[in-house]
Amino acid sequence: MVKCRLLENGSRRFSPTIRGTVLLAMVCIAGRYAGADEPTSFHMPDYGGMTPPPARSMDDVDAALKGEDPTPKSDEVLKVLLVAGPKDHNLGEHDYPAWLKVWSKLLAKAPRTEVATAWLFPTPEEADAADVIVFYQKGDWNDARAELIDRFLAHGGGLVYIHWAVNGNEQPEQFAKRIGLASKAGAVGYRHGELNIDFTPASDHPVARNFAGVEWRDETYWRLRGDATQIDLLGTSREEGEDTPQFWTYQPGKGRVFVSIPGHYMWTFDDPMFRLLLMRGIAWSGGHNVDRFNDLILLDARVE
């Protein structure tokens, strides 16, 4: 039985594209889904006792959903592989295992979507079976990773890196050749707190459609390694007097890469605007219409 809160503004249904002022959005806030293997909800389980930011306005979500991606919709199944690793921060932060559990179930709710999971790094067989690989973990880069990722990109695979997954340890420059920009542990700038992300650079990119300025409470990185002139910049944050990349896409050869630096706090994954951006990035990386996950962004999301 699913317990839900209904937000009503004159319509009888919720559509992936919101036109005019009509909306009936079903927001599940404390549901339990049938099946022993299902999570109790699609909400991240633990904020570590910290007070989260205010819930997102439904008006903001409506505005971001307007319009349509002109990319033809495909009947092909999108195969997504989620890769996590051991938790490395306090409660409510960098909870890669919890994300793996919740998001593997969340993304699987989308039609024509198959979701698999891996730990630390995929095997060649796991990578070969995927269209898109999503990394949320403490990143690393070495020759073994390079071999698999290079082969995956050469075959037109899609990659998504979230937050500390961009860490390249002692080889950030080599990592950056594959994902655009990467960090070197101990040499990256970072700030926790209120973020005001400017999406002006991405006004014509399908992933950032209808995004202008969005506020989150999360973490930024800067002083990243790599050639920033080679990325397609989506969103920036003002750090140390400069506009620094926080969201971008990158196309190395036949492959596609989407990167989100925010993703430190677990409440960010329950924010429908972040979900929308990240899910669009996953779809785009796989060469699919970016609106294919729209019906998922409100499931147990923090919205008012």
Q: Output the pLDDT for position 40.
A: 63
81, two tokens: 């592989």
CATH number of the structural domain 63-295: 3.40.50.880
Residue among 154, 103, 151 nearest 299 (CA): 103
Burial of 281 (0-12, 13-18, 19+ CB in 10 A): buried
- Does the pLDDT of residue 228 top 80, yes or no? yes
- Does the pLDDT of residue 25 top 70, yes or no? no
Average pLDDT, stretch 23-31? Answer: 37
Question: Whole-number mean pLDDT of the chain?
Answer: 89
Predicted confidence band at 227 (pLDDT cuts at 50, 70, 90)?
A: very high
Q: Output the pLDDT for position 98.
A: 98
pLDDT tens digits along 169-221: 999 999 999 999 999 989 999 999 999 999 999 989 999 999 999 999 999 99
Burial of 90 (0-12, 13-18, 19+ CB in 10 A): exposed
Q: How many CB atoms lie within 10 A of CB 35?
A: 8
Lowest-confidence region among 10-24, 52-66, 285-299: 10-24
- Does the pLDDT of residue 12 top 70, yes or no? no
State percent of the chain over pLDDT 90: 86
More confident residue, 39 or 300: 300
pLDDT tens digits along 232-251: 999 999 999 999 999 999 99
Lowest-confidence region among 15-19, 58-62, 103-107, 133-137: 15-19
* Domain spans in the chain, listed from the N-terminal domain onward: 63-295
